[in-house]
Structure 1
Amino acid sequence: MNDLDMDFLLGAEDDDGPPRRRSQGTRTQQRRSRRRRKRQRRKGFVATLFAVVIIVGVLGAGGYFGFTWIRGLVVPKDFTGQGTGQVVIEIKEGATATDVAQQLEDQGVVASARAFVNAIGAAGKGSSLQPGEYTLHKAMSAAAAVALLDPKNRVLNRLTIREGLRLSKIFEELSTATGKPVDDFKQAAKADLGLPSYARKRLEGFAFPATYEINSKMSAEQILTKMVERFSQTAERIKLEEQAHQLGYTPREVMIIASIVQAESGNEQDMPKVARVIYNRLSLNPPMKLQMDSTVMYGLGKYGIAATHAETESNSPYNTYKRLGLPPGPIANPGDHAIGAALHPADGNWLYFVTTDPKRGITKFTDKETEFWKLRDEFNRNNG
């Protein structure tokens, strides 16, 4: 067999059998190949490590912001400390804690409404918020704001209206206390103040004397309405209409009598007796004129405890020296005691009384005209 045939056979054997290992090259080439593979592995590791760092960083940042967001939902924003500056907050009638919270946030007092709601709930004062004005601070903690919204911290002007003042005098005192013109109160008295029907749309006699809390934002009409509301509460409490009818008089007549009792009495103890004198004169047949100096002076727009003869000759409808029966309306604004005396007069036959010593508040009563003139002489001696 020649060489060609041998080559052919060997080739055929290689094709039919498994492939032979290829040459691995020189040792130098092998070392270079190993170094190249190491560099590639290092680059892959660094890239993988860098990717891991980036992923961890993103997840960490997301976790932080996510935690902050969740924490903001659970723990609302809140300032610390007592704050600075002054902010006057008005809590309106019927306002809820949520209403107040939003107002505080809007005016920069607290950082968030939720912080205030949480704070007032924690303090157990959710139902203790009272209408009025309060002085708070900017950027104060919710807990500090709750503490300042205590009723004792309200910005108020307390005004006491004394028993027996005429409406004109009440307007003057309200004007002084509020800085509003007297004309504002005169005009407001014509508005719908919630007067009872028997007042006949006239405020005199129904502006109840008491201590009122007044703030600078209240209108003249709102202030007078509060006084009428106080009267209505008293009238309901003492059952004014029911008891007046039991006496045989209207509620209006009782209030007119109470106003005269208030003006004529030297002290609280004399009021039921003065009321009895008025009822006795009205019930005589024929009735006796009341002849009350206080009604004469009211009709003339004057003040004094004794009318002159000329004053008792006036044509005023309030001149009870010339006219029978009660004057057309109350002559002052009576308090609890005078109204109570008009509803519960003392027992007695008195037809006359004279305050013989005004300085000491001494008033004497009698059922005899001759004794009355003696008491008048005693008054003149004490005031001569």
Structure 2
Amino acid sequence: MTDDLGLFADEPEERRHRAPDPERFRRRKRRRLVTALAGLFVLVLVGVGVLYGASQIMQIGAYDDFDGEGSGDVVIEVKPGDTVSAIGRTLAQHGVVASSKAFTKAAEENRRINSIQPGYYLMRNQMSGEAAVAHILSPKAKVGRVDIRGGMRLEDQLAPDGGHTPGILTRLAEATCVGENPTCTTPEEMHHVAATADLESLGVPDWAIEDASKAEPKRRLEGLIMPGVYDVKPGESAENVLRDVVNRSAAALEAAGLPQRAEGTGHTPYELLIIASIVQSEAIEKDFPQVARVIENRLTHPVMELKMDSTINYPLDKPSLLTRPEDRQRPGPYNTYLNYGLPPTPISTASKEALAAAEKPAEGNWRFFVKCYPDGTSCFADTLEQHEAYIDEARARGAF
């Protein structure tokens, strides 16, 4: 039979006969209380999680949405690479739609949604997702877009009907003006900045700054804005618009090969741009290389002026290639009937094709050309006699 004291045989004698410790009892009680509270807290967390999960399951497919077509004006930007979800988030951030889900859900059944291009869009406040999708896909939503084509000029030009055809600077100013109560940059402000702003700060390429600085102020940027589509932010200042456009044009000029194209041509990059602008203004694309050769042959001839009608009409803001005798006798830096060599600046925007022709003209001895067919095709001649015969043919065809 085992002695009861054997169970505690290993404990010290004083511990077996020690009186109960009140402090030790209180510590045990506190530990039990803390453990119970921790368990209760875990149970509460689990319960909250279960309730939240259930609420989410019950609300699958639910999202905030406005009703109707909305009101007012809101300009938003679609950036390159934006997905439909990204566009929806932009619309929600600007208060156009109540939630990005309202837009993306409405767009699911419309394949055209993937055709949205980068740029600026005029939307309304508080549109339903369905209304926002329909509106952003409509032609009237796209704003601030300016299409600059080869041969365009900075200044407005006289139209055959006596009116004016807006030039590049006026078009850029007009693009800032959209909506019911727009904040606009005026053509006058755009012209002022073009004539006075620091060329380097505007983004003019280094190789063009010296020559452009010598030009008449209102013609400093001529030829330095490349053909292309430009998205102008509505309400933007004239300086910011021009800085953006000139910087993008500088990148386009570099992509087109300047200044490297000029190497080995005998011309500076700026001179090559001037030649390309004359080529662009004088001919249709298929004749660019031959016209470039005529220019080159005349420039290298010891006693021959360029005699390009496009340069005569340039300071007169006329688009026509026909000139009047009195205009050909008017002194000035762009009169290539009276002056030898190139004019001081380009006379229009020049396309990549015109630049390529200026760099590598077609082989030939031509020194004369005239538009001799109604479609604009030119006839090229080595001698004045041939040239005069082509002029007679052109008149007989009604080419001019």
Letter in 1 for 2:121: E
Secondary structure of the 1:271 match is helix
Gaps of 5+ in 1: 1-58, 120-124
Match of residue 372, structure 1, among 357, 362, 387: 387
Match of residue 70, structure 2, among 83, 86, 91: 86
Q: Relative to structure 1, is the Cα distance of residues 100 and 362 closer, same or farther in structure 2, using a 3 angstrom cutoff?
A: closer
Q: Does 1:273 align with 2:290?
A: yes
For the 8 Å contact 1:300–1:316, the answer to whether it is kept is no
Distance (whole Å) between structure 1 residues aligned to residue 124 and residue 369 of structure 2: 57
Q: Does 1:189 align with 2:204?
A: no
Secondary structure of the 1:212 match is strand
For the 8 Å contact 1:299–1:317, the answer to whether it is kept is no
For the 8 Å contact 1:353–1:364, the answer to whether it is kept is yes
Q: Does 1:162 align with 2:149?
A: yes
Secondary structure of the 2:328 match is helix
Distance (whole Å) between structure 1 residues aligned to residue 128 and residue 120 of structure 2: 20
Letter in 2 for 1:354: V
Distance (whole Å) between structure 1 residues aligned to residue 348 and residue 117 of structure 2: 36
For the 8 Å contact 2:70–2:128, the answer to whether it is kept is no
Map Cα deviations across residues 320-374 of structure 1 (whole Å, 9 max, x no partner): 11111101011111222222211221111111111234x3313111111222233
Letter in 2 for 1:195: V
Map Cα deviations across residues 2-59 of structure 1 (whole Å, 9 max, x no partner): xxxxxxxxxxxxxxxxxxxxxxxxxxxxxxxxxxxxxxxxxxxxxxxxxxxxxxxxx9
Give the Å deviation of 1:220: 3.4
Please name the residue that 2:3 is paired with: none
Please name the residue that 1:51 is paired with: none
Secondary structure of the 2:263 match is helix
Give the Å deviation of 1:209: 2.2
Taking structure 2 as the reference length, what is the TM-score of the superposition? 0.63
Secondary structure of the 1:372 match is helix
Taking structure 1 as the reference length, what is the TM-score of the superposition? 0.65
Please name the residue that 1:282 is paired with: 299
Please name the residue that 2:92 is paired with: 104
Q: Relative to structure 1, is the Cα distance of residues 102 and 207 closer, same or farther in structure 2, using a 3 angstrom cutoff?
A: closer
For the 8 Å contact 1:156–1:215, the answer to whether it is kept is no
For the 8 Å contact 1:78–1:110, the answer to whether it is kept is no
Distance (whole Å) between structure 1 residues aligned to residue 252 and residue 343 of structure 2: 23
Map Cα deviations across residues 230-253 of structure 1 (whole Å, 9 max, x no partner): 432332223221121221211100
Letter in 1 for 2:297: N
Secondary structure of the 2:76 match is strand
CA RMSD of aligned residues (A): 4.5
For the 8 Å contact 2:76–2:94, the answer to whether it is kept is no
Letter in 1 for 2:193: A
Give the Å deviation of 1:294: 1.1
For the 8 Å contact 1:354–1:372, the answer to whether it is kept is yes
Give the Å deviation of 1:130: 5.2
Distance (whole Å) between structure 2 residues aligned to residue 175 and residue 98 of structure 1: 29
Match of residue 322, structure 2, among 303, 306, 310: 306
Number of equivalent positions = 315
Distance (whole Å) between structure 1 residues aligned to residue 94 and residue 362 of structure 2: 61
Secondary structure of the 2:320 match is coil
Map Cα deviations across residues 181-200 of structure 1 (whole Å, 9 max, x no partner): 32122023243421113333
Distance (whole Å) between structure 1 residues aligned to residue 50 and residue 349 of structure 2: 68
Distance (whole Å) between structure 1 residues aligned to residue 384 and residue 280 of structure 2: 24
Distance (whole Å) between structure 2 residues aligned to residue 234 and residue 178 of structure 1: 23
Percent identity for Structure 1 against Structure 2: 31
Letter in 2 for 1:182: P
Distance (whole Å) between structure 1 residues aligned to residue 248 and residue 126 of structure 2: 37
Secondary structure of the 1:299 match is coil
Give the Å deviation of 1:383: 6.8
Match of residue 256, structure 2, among 230, 233, 238: 238
Q: Relative to structure 1, is the Cα distance of residues 344 and 70 closer, same or farther in structure 2, using a 3 angstrom cutoff?
A: farther
Map Cα deviations across residues 281-332 of structure 1 (whole Å, 9 max, x no partner): 1123x25211111111113444432223322221111111111110101111
Map Cα deviations across residues 199-221 of structure 1 (whole Å, 9 max, x no partner): 33421112222233345334434
For the 8 Å contact 2:119–2:231, the answer to whether it is kept is no
Please name the residue that 2:268 is paired with: 250
Secondary structure of the 1:168 match is coil
Please name the residue that 1:46 is paired with: none
Q: Based on CA coordinates, which of the two structures has the bigger radius of gyration?
A: 1
For the 8 Å contact 1:84–1:137, the answer to whether it is kept is no
Distance (whole Å) between structure 1 residues aligned to residue 310 and residue 93 of structure 2: 57
For the 8 Å contact 2:123–2:136, the answer to whether it is kept is no
